Amino acid sequence: MASIMTQNRDGDNAPPLSVSEISGALKRAVEGQFGHVRVRGELSGFKRAASGHLYFGLKDEKAVLDGVMWKGNAARLGFAAEDGLEVVATGKLTTYAGRSKYQIVADSLELAGEGALMALFEKTKARLTEEGLFAAERKRAIPRMPRRIGVVTSPTGAVIRDILHRLNDRFPSHVIVWPVRVQGEGAKEEVAAAVKGFSGMEAADPNRPDLVIVARGGGSIEDLWAFNEEIVVRAVAECSIPVISAVGHETDTTLCDYAADLRAPTPSAAAEMAVPVRAELNDRIGQNGLRLDRAVRRMITHWEERLEGQRRLMPKLTELTAPQQQRADELGERLGRALERRVDAARIAFAAPAKALRPALLEGLVRRGQERLDGLTRLAGSLHPEAPLKRGFARVTDGAGKTVMNVAAAKAAGHVALRFADGEVGAAVGGGEVRSTPTKPKPRKKKAGPASDTQQDLFGE
């Protein structure tokens, strides 16, 4: 039993340590010795956790070092990390007791030289090309004479001065500058936001440009790297306004150049591509005006010659109208003779009735008419309602002036008015009955005249 039990031996001053104690000791030793290191290697097994932390491995030909970058530092990473990129990780070495391994906790990751940058450039380019972001059918035509030009660049550099100077020399235009940083931290976000800002303007907005120029002066690949970032490349490719990319010098190429509708070798060249030369345009307009004037004159001359040829082939106007004029003269003469014949015929037709219209006949007609009128006047006088009053009759009316026609109406009225030929008197109606002796009417004396049982016609006929 003694051989399998832990025993303290003479001279042994190394008591056993727990796993946690030895892990802590190793952690302190490693962090104390490697508290700040820079390690160069190729990224392997790179992944971004849902928490935002980055986990990766750094490897070379003989070894692999695990690494981690916490979320706060990962958010400031200046490029899209992926497997195969050669980077330099800056941070400290530590141990992970849970798996008995050591690792680097990176504060930053940097691409290891231009070779690594170019490798990342080519990988990103290949991926976006396969996506169709650089396809030729996506390119749009640049407007011939833009009214407003939007420029995305630094407001303090020489680039904006070169662009404005070149525009003023060629064709003065209204320029809207969206100031951005063109390198360093935050440059990619500002450039992408500026392009999206121009693209998002309403069509009716008077400040919306017809053309956008994304410009930056020359520099190293690191200086121009913001224009290779995917956020900028996608903003340029998706812009609703045609875009000219003018990043760097003629030999510099960025992914922004591939995404734009047109690439300019320099910012000054972008201004030249954006607008024509006004003097040349005026000369061209003048030349076109002269050509148009000559063409119109030639056309007028041509048609004058054709018209003259047609005029020679046509007969004279007098020849065309002579038959009609002769016909009109003949019809005029016939019309005169016809009118004379009609007048003679009318004179003959009315001669007989005119002879019958003698003065004695007219006087007889007038006399008979007068006699007929006198008879009607006498008849109207005898039928007048007041005529019986002159012969001793009276008209009885009630208080309303209505004629009383019988005894019952007189009794109902009570008081009546008796109207005679020479005036009117009132009378009260009594209740007794008055007897009257009828008087035999005297025979009317007949006027002397021809004995006849037939009444004479009042109208004398």
Does residue 160 share a domain with residue 267?
Answer: yes
Residues 190-201: pLDDT tens digits?
A: 999 999 999 999
Does residue 343 share a domain with residue 305?
Answer: no
Decide if 377 is inside a domain.
no
Residue range(s) defining the domain that contains residue 181: 147-275
Q: What is the DSSP letter of 395?
A: E
pLDDT category of residue 424 using cuts at 50, 70 and 90: confident
Can you give the pLDDT at residue 461?
41
Does residue 329 share a domain with residue 294?
Answer: no
**Residue of 10, 37, 165, 154 whose CA lies nearest to 91:** 37
pLDDT category of residue 296 using cuts at 50, 70 and 90: very high
pLDDT above 70 for 16: yes
Decide if 341 is inside a domain.
yes
Can you give the pLDDT at residue 437?
45
pLDDT category of residue 3 using cuts at 50, 70 and 90: low
Decide if 430 is inside a domain.
no
pLDDT above 80 for 79: no
Percent of the chain with pLDDT over 70: 88
Can you give the pLDDT at residue 454?
44
Does residue 262 share a domain with residue 151?
Answer: yes
Decide if 194 is inside a domain.
yes
Stated as kind and residue range, the H or E segment containing 306 is: helix 278-313
pLDDT above 50 for 134: yes
Can you give the pLDDT at residue 456?
45
Residues 216-229: pLDDT tens digits?
A: 998 888 889 899 99
Mean pLDDT in residue range 109-123: 79
In angstroms, how far is the first alpha carbon of the chain from the final one? 187
Query: Which positions ≥6 away from 259 have C-beta within 8 Å?
Result: 128, 133, 134, 233, 234, 236, 237, 243, 245
Decide if 428 is inside a domain.
no
Does residue 304 share a domain with residue 248?
Answer: no
Residues 145-169: pLDDT tens digits?
A: 999 999 999 998 899 999 999 999 9
- Dihedral over Cα of 391, 393, 398, 404: its sign: negative
Residues 365-405: pLDDT tens digits?
A: 788 888 888 888 888 777 777 778 777 888 888 888 888 88
Q: What's the distance, CA 112 to chain centroid? A: 56
Does residue 400 share a domain with residue 296?
Answer: no
Residues 24-75: pLDDT tens digits?
A: 888 888 888 888 999 988 888 899 999 999 999 998 888 999 999 999 888 8
Can you give the pLDDT at residue 5?
61
Give the residue with greater pLDDT, 180 vs 374.
Answer: 180
User: What one-letter code names the amino acid at 145?
Assistant: M
pLDDT above 60 for 438: no
Can you give the pLDDT at residue 137?
93
Q: How far apart are the C-alpha atoms of 358 and 276, rounded to whole Å?
A: 109
Does residue 252 share a domain with residue 159?
Answer: yes
Which of 116-130, 178-192, 360-374, 398-412 is most confident?
178-192
Mean pLDDT in residue range 198-210: 93
Please state whether the predicted TM-score (pTM) of the whole model is above 0.85: no
Pairing of strands 148-153, 174-179: parallel
Decide if 393 is inside a domain.
yes
Residues 239-295: pLDDT tens digits?
A: 999 999 999 888 889 999 999 999 999 999 999 999 998 888 888 899 999 999 999
The CATH number for 174's domain is 3.40.50.261
**Residue of 67, 38, 42 whose CA lies nearest to 54:** 67
- Dihedral over Cα of 9, 14, 20, 23: its sign: negative
Does residue 248 share a domain with residue 170?
Answer: yes
Mean pLDDT in residue range 63-90: 86
Can you give the pLDDT at residue 20?
84
The CATH number for 34's domain is 2.40.50.140
- Dihedral over Cα of 379, 381, 385, 386: its sign: negative
Does residue 345 share a domain with residue 240?
Answer: no
**Residue of 40, 70, 38 whose CA lies nearest to 58:** 40
Can you give the pLDDT at residue 68?
92
**Residue of 243, 189, 239 whose CA lies nearest to 214:** 243
Stated as kind and residue range, the H or E segment containing 437 is: none
Decide if 379 is inside a domain.
no
Can you give the pLDDT at residue 25?
84
Can you give the pLDDT at residue 265?
93
Decide if 446 is inside a domain.
no
Can you give the pLDDT at residue 441?
52
Exposed / middle / buried, residue 189 (Cβ in 10 Å: 0-12, 13-18, 19+): middle
Does residue 250 share a domain with residue 176?
Answer: yes
> How many structural domains does the chain have?
5
Give the residue with greater pLDDT, 460 vs 105.
Answer: 105
SS3 (DSSP) at 440? coil
Does residue 406 share a domain with residue 359?
Answer: no
pLDDT above 50 for 453: no
Can you give the pLDDT at residue 114?
65
Q: What is the DSSP letter of 401?
A: S
Structure tokens at 28: 């302190």
pLDDT category of residue 80 using cuts at 50, 70 and 90: confident
Does residue 352 share a domain with residue 232?
Answer: no
CB 392 within 8 A of CB 405: no
- Dihedral over Cα of 122, 124, 126, 132: its sign: negative
